[in-house]
Amino acid sequence: MNKNLLGHLCLLGANVIYSINFSVAKDVLGSHIQSSGFILLRAVCAVVLYWLTSLFMRYEKIAKEDRLRLFFCGVFGVAVNQLFFFKGLSLTSPINASIMMVCTPILVVVMGYFAMTEKFSKLRIIGIFIGLAGALFLILNPAQGKQIGSANLGDLLVLLNACSWGLYLIIVKPLMQKYHTITIVKWVFLTGFIIVLPFGYNQLMAVNWHSMPNKIYWEIFFVVFATTYLAYILNTYSLKNLSPAVAGTYIYSQPLLTALFAVMLGKDQIDLVKIIASLMIFSGVYMASRSNSLRKNTKNE
C-alpha cells in the first residue's frame, strides 16, 4: 500500500476513535472517576501496553541529543495535553470540546511559524484570525444550562489542550524519522505517567470499583485501549509520511463525527452557537490550509 495513503487511513481511523471518545469519556468522568485519576489510569495502562509491545520488537537506544526532545514530547503529548483535555471535557459538552479541538491546525501553523517550519501569507493570517475568533465566540458566549462559567472554562481548557497537542506534533516529527513508533510512544507515556502521578494518585485510589456499572467498565476499556493505545499509534505512525500540518488538518472531521455520535447517544445537542463557531473555525482552517497549498503550487510552477 502507498505510504501516503496508509498515513491518511491511520489519521482517519484515529480521528474516528477520538470522535467517539468525547461522548464515552464524558460518561465516565465525574460520577465514577475524577479527571486526573482517569488520566493516571490511562497512563498506567498505556505504559504497560506499549512496553509489552516493545518486547516483540528490536530494541532501539535513544541518542543523548534526542532525550530532552523526547521528554518534552511526554510533557506536551501526554501530561499537559491530557490534564487540560479531561478537566475541560468534565466541564463542557462533547460537541463543544470537539469544536475547540478543530483549532489545532491553526495552532500548528502559528507555532510552526515561530519554529521556522511554516510561513505566513495574508490569506493564512486572515484564516488564523477567523478561526481563533470562532473559538473565542464559543468560549465567551453564554452557555445553555446552569453551569455557564464552568462550561466556558471547560472550552478554554480544551483549547489549551489543543495548543499542547499541536506543539507535540511539531516536537515529535523529527523523532519519527529516526525511531520506530512504539519506541517513541512508550517513552512518551512513561514520561507522562511520572508527571501525572502526583496529580491523579489520590483520585484513582478513591474510585469505588465494586459499585461501577458494567457499561462504565466497557467505556473505560474503550478509552484505555482504543483512544490511548491504538489511536496514539495510528496518529504517531502517520507522521512518518505526513507533515504535522496535514495530521492537524484531519481534526476538523471530529465535530461532525462527534456530533453524530453524541446526538445518537443522547449526550449532547446541536445549537446555533455551535454551528456558527464551527463555520468560523472551519473557514479559518480552510484559508490557512489553502494558503499553504497555493504557495507550494506557485513554487512548483
Average pLDDT of each block of 10 consecutive residues along the chain (301 residues)?
Answer: 78 86 83 87 92 90 93 92 87 77 69 63 73 70 52 81 84 87 90 93 91 89 90 78 69 72 72 75 68 42 34
Residue-level pLDDT at 115: 60
Sign of CA dihedral 139, 142, 145, 149: positive
Residue-level pLDDT at 144: 47
Residue-level pLDDT at 194: 94
Residue-level pLDDT at 295: 46
Pairwise CA distance, residues 164 & 77, whole Å: 7
User: How crowded is residue 91: how many other Cβ atoms within 10 Å of its Cβ?
Assistant: 24
Residue-level pLDDT at 233: 80
Helix, strand, coil share (%) of the chain residues, nearest 5: 80, 0, 20
Residue-level pLDDT at 159: 83
Residue-level pLDDT at 50: 92
Pairwise CA distance, residues 95 & 258, whole Å: 6
pLDDT averaged over every residue in the chain: 79
Q: Is the pTM of this model over 0.85?
A: no
